[in-house]
Amino acid sequence: MNVAILGYGTVGSGVYDVLTKNATIISKRVGFDLDVKYVLDLREFPGDPVEKILVHDFKQVIDDPGVDVVVEVMGGIHPAYEFSKEALLRGKSVCTSNKELVAKHGAELLELARANNCNYLFEASVGGGIPIIRQLIRSITADDIERIDGILNGTTNYMMTKMKLDGLAFDEVLKRAQDKGYAERNPAADIEGHDACRKIAILTSLAYGKQVDYEDIHTEGITKISDIDVEYANRLGRAIKLLGSSKKTEDGRVFAIVAPKMIKESNPLFMVSGVFNAILIEGNMLGEVMCYGKGAGKLPTASAVVSDVIDAAKHAGKNIPIIWSREKLELGSFADMKHAFFLRIPAYKKTDALDRLPVIQVLEDVKAGEIGVVTSEMTEGEFEKAVADLGVISMIRYEL
């Protein structure tokens, strides 16, 4: 069976490596060989092992009936979307790590795959090497999903870990992350939470079988987190993590949010440090299950893509049903979401805070001139109203 790889960047070259280095073991599991017939990229790679199979024109790939599986690891919406559609229309399965495309057009591409007896698979789009998509749609099938909490972005988790361990300021940590290659020169997608937002949108769509539009998800990044916040967190026995979260309340409404949260030590996500990712899923029968691993990186991500290629090969001509319809899932409104809060306010506002908020803890000696306050649960709407003139210095959601 023949595979074509679209895009020879980090993940694309990783896919080539996994398919060649583990060829023997993969053939044994699939029952036949998987060969890479083409690598599509606009660039040249003289001297590279793929030199001879490198092509620059998508037509060459798509018109070849010998290509059975297309690996789309180009990233971005265009032309990845058009290429994927074209491949599926011709009955070629598509395996991708492209979270942006999956979040936006996943439901449509799945429909197309269904109609053409092939598959659109995207294990690597969330959690890199962590097999979380299969876990959600093929393993946790007996449960009603009540909650998903994910550390879905390695860059920001590395930064939050560094801030906690070394007491460094945000800018300093960002610089180090960039020097190490963990953060990009333009880090907005990571540190402003957009990356995590797409991923929680995908997971939530799969959990409930309907389209969750990522534009509907309230998204905050970590850019406002300071070393003082981290000090408060340490004092409270909490770690600040950027979480992508969704939950289903008893009335059946689904809420989703991306925001930093102070989580406690008994939460299994607490110990997830550095560039690792982890996703905690709570089912109504199963309780909590967490999956942990490398959320990014060439080979872990490529391993996830290749596990999809193997699935596509084993299900040639047959669609693996994935329930994710184009019908929009209307999320519960942000103002109705319930959280406990940590906030810092000027010290002279203490009486006002005690008057207006369900305060359960006050810290007065972390920084001169201000206090830290922990509230019990209240809605975002109630909170916003209550703190309107408290001169809030910073606010982070809090796990009680």
Distance CA 255, CA 77 (A): 26
Smallest separation (angstroms) from its own copies to the CB of 348 = 41
Q: Which is nearer to its own copies, 217 or 305 (CB)?
A: 305
Q: 199 an active-site residue?
A: yes
Q: Which is nearer to its own copies, 71 or 393 (CB)?
A: 71
Instruction: Kindly state the tokens that stand for 140.
Output: 């946790």
**Burial state string for 299-309 with b = 16 or more CB within 10 A and e = fewer than 16:** bbbbbbbbbbb
Smallest separation (angstroms) from its own copies to the CB of 312 = 11
Smallest separation (angstroms) from its own copies to the CB of 141 = 5
**DSSP character for 136?**
I
Which is the catalytic residue, given 199, 241, 247, 294? 199
**DSSP state letters, 146-175:** EEEEEE--HHHHHHHHHHHHH---HHHHHH
Distance CA 105, CA 266 (A): 37
Q: What is the arrangement of strands in the sheet containing 35-40, beginning at the earlier edge strand?
A: 54-55, 35-40, 2-6, 67-72, 93-96, 120-121
Smallest separation (angstroms) from its own copies to the CB of 350 = 36
Q: Which is nearer to its own copies, 113 or 257 (CB)?
A: 113
Q: Which residues bind its own copies (CB under 8 A)?
A: 17-18, 21-22, 25-26, 28-29, 123, 129-131, 134-135, 138-144, 209, 268, 270-272, 283-294, 297, 299-300, 302-304, 306-307, 309-311, 314, 321, 323
Instruction: Kindly state the tokens that stand for 326.
Output: 């184009």
Nearest alpha carbon to residue 68 among 116, 134, 14: 116
Smallest separation (angstroms) from its own copies to the CB of 72 = 17
Q: Which is nearer to its own copies, 86 or 399 (CB)?
A: 399
Residue 323: what are its φ and ψ, rounded to 5°? -85, 105
Tell me which residues are annotated as active site.
199
